[in-house]
Structure 1
Amino acid sequence: MIDSLLLQFMLIGSLGVGSQWIAWRFRLPAIVVMSIVGLLVGPVFGLMNPEQDFGELFKPIISLAVAVILFEGSLNLDMKEVRGLGRPVFRIVTFGAFISWILGALAAHYVAGLSWAVAFVIGGLFIVTGPTVILPLLRQAKLKPRPAKILKWEGIIVDPIGALLAVFAFEIIEFIMGTNVNPSELLLFFLASLFAVILGWACGKGVGWMFETGYVPEFLKSPVVFTVVIACFTIADEITHETGLLSVTAMGMTLANMHISSIADMRHFKENISLLLISTIFVMLTASLTQETLVEIFNVQIIGFVLLMLFIVRPLSIFLSTMGTDLSKSEKLLVGWIAPRGIVALTVASYFASILLESGFEDASILISLTFALVFTTVVAHGFTIGWLSKKLGLSMEGPPGVLISGGSQFATGMAKTLEDLKVPVLIADSSWERLSRTRAAGIKSYHGEILSEQTEYYLDMTPYEYLIAATELDSYNALVCTTFVPEFGRNNLYQLSLSDREGDNLENLVHTIGGRVLFKEGASWEELNIMVESGYVFRKTNITEQYKYENYLNNIDSEAVILFIKKPSGKIEFFSPEVENRAENGDVVVALTPPSKEFEKIQEKLEEQRKENGNKKQKK
């Protein structure tokens, strides 16, 4: 057992972030890796037990972390995003949640053997999915926009609703059992929930107003939001337990729909904080489980309950609640299967286990085991099947990494056509119909609109594209595009054309601090590349083989040619850049923009070979 709390903090952070990296590197569900790591350092090897070691600080740390995670998720709930999905989302988070509550309670009573009182409390809690588990799965699976948005909205909205349902069920139980016969307690509960929503809305509006009117300097905006989120959660939660989650969700949604630029700018910072919290909190929770809890998970009643929740309760609640909506059968199947439970279920279950036991419900002793069994099973089952199932149902955007090109031109169209020939998804975005005319004529997929506009994220699905090339004639605009999309694509996957050698544009120092990697070779600017294409230069694809190695290719290529990129057999694209040394290997395809004379020579050589072959055939006859 590690005695030092400081060492435990370090180890928890390292294990959490390390789990995320392993999941990314080997394309595994991050939640599964974190759960396994937590179990190994906790109940399996006994290196730590954060719940015991942190003492009274454990629950406040978990609660505040959940509040920040839920707030960050609700910052993405812009009403514009659910255009055309309003009815299915509303039905799922209302009727679907209610059906799931009732069916879950029935399963808990008849299969898990819980009393009606405990069954209705836990049934309300188990409707939650939540951003801690849904958002990592959505990043992994690359779903099409419709099912992805439905799962995201359900997870974030139902998270506080599930906790409140559990509290409401407990209040009803106390009332029925006679331990609390005052009906005003129920009224106070509903008033507290309403107060939490109003508080969240007021905090969101207040923060938004201060940001818009300049009452908060730029360097204090993130700390102010962080502090207000904690205050909003704490005030509501102190009045009635678990209403704090409702409050921060209302605050996040309010800010998201005010469309304040400052909030959009800090969203990526909040995402990073949320990712760190998810990584550490999941390790802390699983490491705090006991060996007795793990053994109890294999109880036949618990296994039966989990299977029923997976294969009956969830699918049935989704199919019944979405009847009459425009969701396809495939979408209903996917949404009906994917419902992983996460941090909120674990934390709230531990709270109710203690207060139900204090109230005399002895069967509540298995709630921790029951909850972890459901959480771990759903996380593993849904984490490993979401990608496979979405592909089978035709709801996945999974495929070779695509290329998004900003700026329509002859060069961009030619390169896009070459990428398309190599089965690489490609799209050209431009705000000018005129510049897109040749793109559309060539049959290349295009998007008409300003790529830097906030509307773009609602109308353009960027999921299939892993690389972005800023290829307009304006160097400063290219740098701005690359800088804007760093959080979405990563700096290593952002490229811009070489700087133009024009007077007054002194951008040489600028590109080293902002923007993307410079493409191709020095001097291959927008003007030069388009002049080449207009002069008859051609996009030539060359296969690298054992017989024709990359060294042979470099020796034979024209000195005026511009080598563009290498396509790997895996589908990966490696663009040439002065900043990176590229090397093609056996099986790769190298694409270059070559002079027409070189292409003419190649054609002549092929014609000459054909003449010789025909002559040989005649002689044999």
Structure 2
Amino acid sequence: MEEQAIVIALVGVLGIGAQWVAWRTGWPAIVLMLVAGFLVGPVFGIIDPQRAFGDLLDPMISIGVALILFEGGLSLDFRELRQSGSSIGRMVFLGVPLGWLFGALACYYVAGLVWPVAILFAGILVVTGPTVVMPLLRQSAIKQRPATLLKWEAIVNDPIGALCAVLAYEYMRISQVEGGIALEVIPQIVAAGLIAGALGYGAAWLIAWSFPRGYVPEFLKVPVLLVAVIGTFVVTNLIEHEAGLVAVTVMGVALANMQVSSLRSIHPFKQNVAVLLVSGIFILLSAGLEFSDLRFFDWRSGLFLLALILLVRPATVLISLLFSDVPWKERLFLAWIAPRGIVLVAISGLFALRLGELGFEDGSILIGLSFGVVVATIVTSGFTLNLAARLLGVKGAERPGLLIVGATPWTIALGKMMHELKTPVLIVDASWTRLKPARAAGLDTYNGEILNEATEHNLDLTPFQVLVAATDNEAYNALVCSEFAPEIGTDKVYQLGDGADDDQFALPSSLRGRSLFASGYAVEDVHQRQLEGWVFRRTKLSEQYDLDDARENLPDSANMLLLLRPDGELQFFTHARAPEPAPGDIIVSFSPPRDQVAEAESRRKSTRKTAPA
């Protein structure tokens, strides 16, 4: 018991620690987790998952994989998928069969696997995995179309790869154990898939029906959903072996498209659960490796990895997108970027055990080979993505963007200043008329309600790392900040100060975004100063001209708003903290008109002349 507790704690520390290091450094998190697990497992022998958990290890990993697949299915909203055009359909309906076929040929002729194992492993290889693709896209600025194609290919193919493996395994199991022939086996597999899909859809419908009607209290919705997923997985597996993966995937996809508004509140929680599960499972699987698992990794395995990266993936993408409207350079980029992640390793580890039970010795090869595929594809995709994007001309805006909610004279002036400083700016407002001055100024705009669910599918928010909500309605601004804080970060959502004179009517700080300006200017304050002619000014700092010099050359009433780093990072001066400036930084301030600045400068010169010696 004590050993199990230590292992659980250590797995948590290593998994989340690897995720944190990846966030700080930009390195692929899954590679760091692989290294951490391998060091504490086969290298130093600190963790032995099989000894610690025994027979519980297999069901633990199975349930973890089921929850990951459910979370992936829950991310698949068909409305957003339709926005991507026919290209996603091509990469799924043509790409999956082609990738499965080419992968099976590579597994058999290059890696040397027997046909049944080759077909099963090739089915798993069609996944690219949102758990690795999404972090790569967040860390790199890629144009919207190729980024969208990569994102949705990963989300859609993640469960499809699992289903391909389930189909292949079920065919092998029924034909091997029950001695059925192809014509007898295929109807059984189809029937099992239909039953599993029906159970998954039924569970999703029950959730979608009961949650909005108040049959489940708010504090029990997350636990009920988790129990429903696990229960559906286990019950379906009892009916048909490994069909639970099909059921939970269908359950997630169905729930995502039933428009259950009450599920929006659990999205941050499900994302947190997915991070914990991915970290834990990957550490356990890599720690459970043995050097004997790697003995099969020879020159043929190395050639297989090269064939997978240089032949299988390019052929799959280029044939799938033949005669499509996707430009050739974007096709080549998509053909190169195909990182595999946790689902590949988890499902491979799961079926490696199953294949061993069926008497296939090659099943044990899948564990080491799957880790090799993950490392090879993540290293090639992760460390060459920016270079490939630059060479092929699909690099998007490299500087962090500023998302402004509310088109007012003050926000449009701010947008113009940041646009001049080469910061990507997007102004969002529900009124087409209020956006007219922003369009006339050459700023990017979006006409729509930012809190509308449709906006989430029509607007790509990936390039924008800072949000400023500055409409005329302070409560609405707080609602926008509260809605986007989990996605962008609580330290990256801002609004103007609360103009309430009485603390009784002031919004609690826990409900608001961070207040712009150290002085706490409210919406009415900046609008009044805008009418008086106040403007945004920029001041570049250097070794000889520091922040104190900048303050001295501004009037006393001026307020510093933000600091722009040379790499485009935005840091705001707020009531709570002030960034530490360095040479090369640019200070953006909100200042009185030039006549007041000249008057202030004249007063300072006069003061210096009359000052006593």
**TM-score, structure 1 length as denominator?**
0.91
In the aligned structure 1, how far is the partner of 2:73 from the partner of 2:353?
A: 30
C-alpha distance after superposition, 1:380-413 (max 9, x if no partner):
2222223332343343445121111111111111
In the aligned structure 1, how far is the partner of 2:421 from the partner of 2:273?
A: 39
Change (3 A) 1:249 1:143: farther
1:235 is matched with 235
1:536 is matched with 533
Q: Residue 593 of structure 2 is aligned with which of 593, 596, 607?
A: 596
Partners of 2:176 and 2:358 within 8 A in 1: no
Say whether residues 1:577 and 2:574 are aligned partners. yes
Partners of 1:29 and 1:140 within 8 A in 2: no
Q: What is the one-letter code of the residue matched to 1:476? A: A
Partners of 1:70 and 1:131 within 8 A in 2: no
Partners of 2:204 and 2:252 within 8 A in 1: yes
Q: What is the one-letter code of the residue matched to 2:44? A: F
1:39 is matched with 38
C-alpha distance after superposition, 1:85-139 (max 9, x if no partner):
3532223223211112221221122212223333223222322233333333333
Alignment of 1:129-278 (within 5 A): 129-173=128-172, 180-181=179-180, 183-278=183-278
In the aligned structure 2, how far is the partner of 1:581 from the partner of 1:163?
A: 49
In the aligned structure 1, how far is the partner of 2:60 from the partner of 2:411?
A: 51
In the aligned structure 2, how far is the partner of 1:365 from the partner of 1:227?
A: 32
In the aligned structure 2, how far is the partner of 1:522 from the partner of 1:494?
A: 18
Partner SS state of residue 590, structure 2: strand
Alignment of 1:78-89 (within 5 A): 78-89=77-88
Change (3 A) 1:51 1:102: same
Partner SS state of residue 511, structure 2: coil
Q: What is the one-letter code of the residue matched to 2:214? A: G
Change (3 A) 1:16 1:360: closer
Change (3 A) 1:106 1:514: same
Partners of 2:555 and 2:596 within 8 A in 1: no
Q: CA RMSD in A?
A: 2.5
Change (3 A) 1:359 1:554: closer
1:415 is matched with 414
Between 1:590-599 and 1:178-187, the stretch displaced more is 178-187
Partners of 2:65 and 2:347 within 8 A in 1: no
2:545 is matched with 548
In the aligned structure 1, how far is the partner of 2:120 from the partner of 2:500?
A: 70
Alignment of 1:368-379 (within 5 A): 368-379=367-378
Q: What is the one-letter code of the residue matched to 2:286? A: T
- How far residue 278 of structure 1 moved from its aligned partner, in angstroms, is 0.9
Alignment of 1:187-586 (within 5 A): 187-297=187-297, 299-501=298-500, 506-508=504-506, 510-586=507-583
Change (3 A) 1:589 1:117: closer
Partner SS state of residue 325, structure 1: coil
- How far residue 191 of structure 1 moved from its aligned partner, in angstroms, is 0.6
Change (3 A) 1:371 1:235: same
- How far residue 578 of structure 1 moved from its aligned partner, in angstroms, is 1.0
1:110 is matched with 109
Partners of 1:204 and 1:254 within 8 A in 2: yes
Partners of 2:491 and 2:514 within 8 A in 1: yes
Partners of 2:171 and 2:189 within 8 A in 1: no
Between 1:300-309 and 1:328-337, the stretch displaced more is 328-337
In the aligned structure 1, how far is the partner of 2:117 from the partner of 2:596?
A: 78
2:605 is matched with none
- How far residue 209 of structure 1 moved from its aligned partner, in angstroms, is 0.5
In the aligned structure 2, how far is the partner of 1:50 from the partner of 1:340?
A: 26
In the aligned structure 2, how far is the partner of 1:276 from the partner of 1:458?
A: 26
In the aligned structure 1, how far is the partner of 2:386 from the partner of 2:236?
A: 38
Q: What is the one-letter code of the residue matched to 1:197? A: G
Q: What is the one-letter code of the residue matched to 1:519? A: L
In the aligned structure 2, how far is the partner of 1:482 from the partner of 1:398?
A: 24
In the aligned structure 1, how far is the partner of 2:217 from the partner of 2:542?
A: 59
C-alpha distance after superposition, 1:200-257 (max 9, x if no partner):
1111111001012221111111111111111112222333333222211211111111
Change (3 A) 1:396 1:487: farther
In the aligned structure 1, how far is the partner of 2:363 from the partner of 2:187?
A: 26
Change (3 A) 1:487 1:397: farther
1:126 is matched with 125
1:610 is matched with none
C-alpha distance after superposition, 1:296-336 (max 9, x if no partner):
32x01111111111110111012112223222223322322
In the aligned structure 2, how far is the partner of 1:108 from the partner of 1:175?
A: 22
Change (3 A) 1:266 1:34: same
In the aligned structure 1, how far is the partner of 2:594 from the partner of 2:107?
A: 77
Question: Mind listing any 5+ residue stretches in structure 2 that lack a counterpart?
Answer: 603-613
C-alpha distance after superposition, 1:21-48 (max 9, x if no partner):
1000011111111111111111222211
In the aligned structure 2, how far is the partner of 1:335 from the partner of 1:191?
A: 35
In the aligned structure 1, how far is the partner of 2:248 from the partner of 2:354?
A: 24
C-alpha distance after superposition, 1:32-87 (max 9, x if no partner):
11111111111222211213321111111111111111111211211110224353
- How far residue 167 of structure 1 moved from its aligned partner, in angstroms, is 4.0
C-alpha distance after superposition, 1:420-451 (max 9, x if no partner):
11111112111122322222222222111111
Change (3 A) 1:537 1:30: same
Partner SS state of residue 347, structure 1: helix
C-alpha distance after superposition, 1:452-503 (max 9, x if no partner):
1112112222111111111122211111111111112111111111122457
Between 1:329-338 and 1:143-152, the stretch displaced more is 143-152
Q: What is the one-letter code of the residue matched to 1:19? A: A
Q: What is the one-letter code of the residue matched to 2:492? A: N
In the aligned structure 2, how far is the partner of 1:216 from the partner of 1:339?
A: 41
In the aligned structure 2, how far is the partner of 1:237 from the partner of 1:136?
A: 32
Partners of 1:233 and 1:245 within 8 A in 2: yes
Partners of 1:5 and 1:54 within 8 A in 2: yes
In the aligned structure 1, how far is the partner of 2:174 from the partner of 2:269?
A: 45
Partners of 1:211 and 1:262 within 8 A in 2: yes
Change (3 A) 1:596 1:176: closer
Q: What is the one-letter code of the residue matched to 2:243? A: T
Change (3 A) 1:557 1:190: same
Q: What is the one-letter code of the residue matched to 2:105? A: L
Between 1:18-27 and 1:346-355, the stretch displaced more is 346-355
Poorly superposed stretches of 4+, deviation over 6 Å: 174-179, 602-605
Partners of 2:14 and 2:283 within 8 A in 1: yes
Q: What is the one-letter code of the residue matched to 2:56? A: L
Identical columns (%): 42
Partners of 1:391 and 1:398 within 8 A in 2: no
- How far residue 285 of structure 1 moved from its aligned partner, in angstroms, is 0.9
In the aligned structure 2, how far is the partner of 1:515 from the partner of 1:35?
A: 39
In the aligned structure 2, how far is the partner of 1:191 from the partner of 1:100?
A: 25
Partners of 2:175 and 2:185 within 8 A in 1: no
Question: Mind listing any 5+ residue stretches in structure 1 that lack a counterpart?
Answer: 606-621
In the aligned structure 2, how far is the partner of 1:353 from the partner of 1:585?
A: 55
Partner SS state of residue 461, structure 1: coil
In the aligned structure 1, how far is the partner of 2:485 from the partner of 2:601?
A: 46
**TM-score, structure 2 length as denominator?**
0.92
Partner SS state of residue 434, structure 2: helix
Partners of 1:100 and 1:317 within 8 A in 2: yes
2:95 is matched with 96
In the aligned structure 1, how far is the partner of 2:22 from the partner of 2:223?
A: 30
1:616 is matched with none
C-alpha distance after superposition, 1:261-320 (max 9, x if no partner):
1111211110111111111111111111112223432x0111111111111011101211
